[in-house]
């Protein structure tokens, strides 16, 4: 069956596989200019702590090569740029041109020009030689990828032996009372915040739906193992609302 006849999920909707990337692109075209503000509002600023912990788990140090997929406005890439120093390199990528431009402008404002590269890429089809990077990260982007397994396989191929990959993503709450509160917030309050701040209620409704369609913690760990990663683990944050998955290429 050709990809144009195969289906996947775009939130709760079923769409043709070859349409999803364009639909996701439309979401982020709409919200790019206020993406950082919305992240602060919808997480009450806690997303900064999640990202800080992900950077700590990465083990990145001076002189290393880091690939940051779905970089958005560059929160992770900014931190990695400071860690790898002038001898290292951070490649900041996104499938969405508007997000990548917004992120590049922010990095330049922060004086991060010397050791940061930029590339508009699809995480499923990485245009880098095998064994290129010491660390590969994807923060809040895997759930938007059409073929998640294909993306994990590509990450494994591009990683050097001894390197590690980290997936920072919304996940499944592990505390039952929290799950009910989280659902109420996600489907009632979050779209209204999106409408007020970005004038785009639908994109933030998609956000809530895409989180619910994303694999749970154990399923994603299994997918990483299937891609070839070893010693895979995950860390639940904020009661499992977010999880950081980590795997190694030995």
Residue 183, domain member (yes or no): no
> Based on the structure, what is the number of domains in the chain?
1
The reply to whether 182 falls in a domain is no
In a domain, 151, yes or no: yes
Question: What is residue 71's predicted lDDT score, i.e. its pLDDT?
Answer: 95
194 occurs within a structural domain: no
Specify if 119 maps to a domain: yes
* pLDDT surpassing 70 at residue 1: no
Say if CB 20 and CB 8 are below 8 A apart.
yes
Which CATH number covers residue 70?
3.40.50.150
63 within 8 A of 242, measured Cβ to Cβ = no
Determine contact, residues 81/61, Cβ cutoff 8 Å. Answer: no
Sign, CA torsion 29/34/35/41: negative
Which comes out higher in pLDDT, residue 168 or 208?
Answer: 168
Does 31 fall in a domain? yes
Q: Exposed e or buried b for every residue in 82-94, given b needs 16+ CB within 10 A?
A: ebbeeebbbbbbb
Residue 176, C-beta contacts closer than 8 angstroms, at least 6 positions apart? none
Please report whether residue 189 resides in a domain: no
8 is in an annotated binding site: no
The residues pairing with 242 across neighbouring beta strands, listed in sequence order, are 170, 237
- Asked, for residue 184, whether it belongs to a domain, the answer is no
Place of tokens 């409408």: 195
- pLDDT reported for residue 5: 62
What pLDDT score was predicted for residue 215?
96
DSSP-based three-state secondary structure for 124: coil
Q: What is the extent of the structural domain holding 60?
A: 7-173+208-248
pLDDT at residue 189 in the model: 87
Q: What is the mean pLDDT of residues 118-144?
A: 96
The rounded percent of the chain whose pLDDT value lies above 90 is 70
- How does pLDDT run across 21-70, given as a tens digit for each residue? 888 878 777 777 777 777 888 888 999 999 999 999 999 999 999 999 99
Is 123 labelled a binding residue? yes
Pairwise pLDDT comparison (198 vs 123), residue with the higher score: 123
Average pLDDT, the chain: 92
Q: Which residue has the tokens 């990095």?
A: 107
User: Is the predicted pLDDT of residue 4 greater than 70, yes or no?
Assistant: no
Known binding residue 131? Answer is no
Burial group, residue 127, by CB count within 10 angstroms (0-12, 13-18, 19+) = exposed
Q: What is the pLDDT of residues 81-116, one digit of tens each?
A: 999 999 999 999 999 998 999 999 999 998 887 899
- The string of pLDDT tens digits covering residues 181-239 is 999 999 998 888 888 878 888 888 988 899 999 999 999 999 999 999 999 999 999 99
């Amino acid at each position: 069956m050709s990809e144009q006849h195969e289906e996947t999920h775009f939130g709760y909707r079923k769409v043709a596989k070859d349409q999803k990337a364009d639909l996701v692109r439309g979401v982020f075209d709409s919200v790019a200019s206020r993406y950082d503000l919305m992240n602060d509002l919808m997480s009450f600023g806690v997303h900064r702590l999640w990202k800080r912990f992900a950077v700590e788990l990465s083990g990145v140090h001076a002189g290393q090569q880091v690939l940051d997929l779905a970089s958005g406005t560059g929160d992770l890439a900014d931190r990695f740029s400071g860690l790898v120093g002038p001898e290292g390199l951070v490649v900041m990528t996104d499938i969405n041109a508007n997000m990548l431009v917004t992120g590049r402008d922010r990095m330049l404002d922060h004086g991060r020009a010397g050791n940061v590269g930029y590339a508009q890429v699809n995480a499923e089809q990485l245009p880098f030689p095998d064994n290129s990077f010491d660390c590969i990260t994807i923060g809040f982007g895997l759930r938007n990828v059409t073929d998640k397994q294909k993306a994990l396989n590509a990450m494994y191929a591009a990683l050097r032996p001894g390197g590690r990959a980290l997936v920072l993503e919304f996940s499944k709450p592990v505390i039952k009372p929290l799950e009910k509160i989280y659902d109420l917030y996600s489907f009632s309050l979050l779209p209204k915040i999106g409408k007020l701040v970005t004038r785009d209620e639908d994109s933030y409704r998609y956000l809530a739906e895409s989180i619910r369609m994303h694999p749970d913690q154990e399923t994603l760990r299994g997918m990483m193992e299937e891609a070839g990663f070893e010693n895979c683990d995950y860390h639940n944050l904020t009661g499992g609302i977010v999880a950081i998955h980590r795997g190694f290429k030995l």
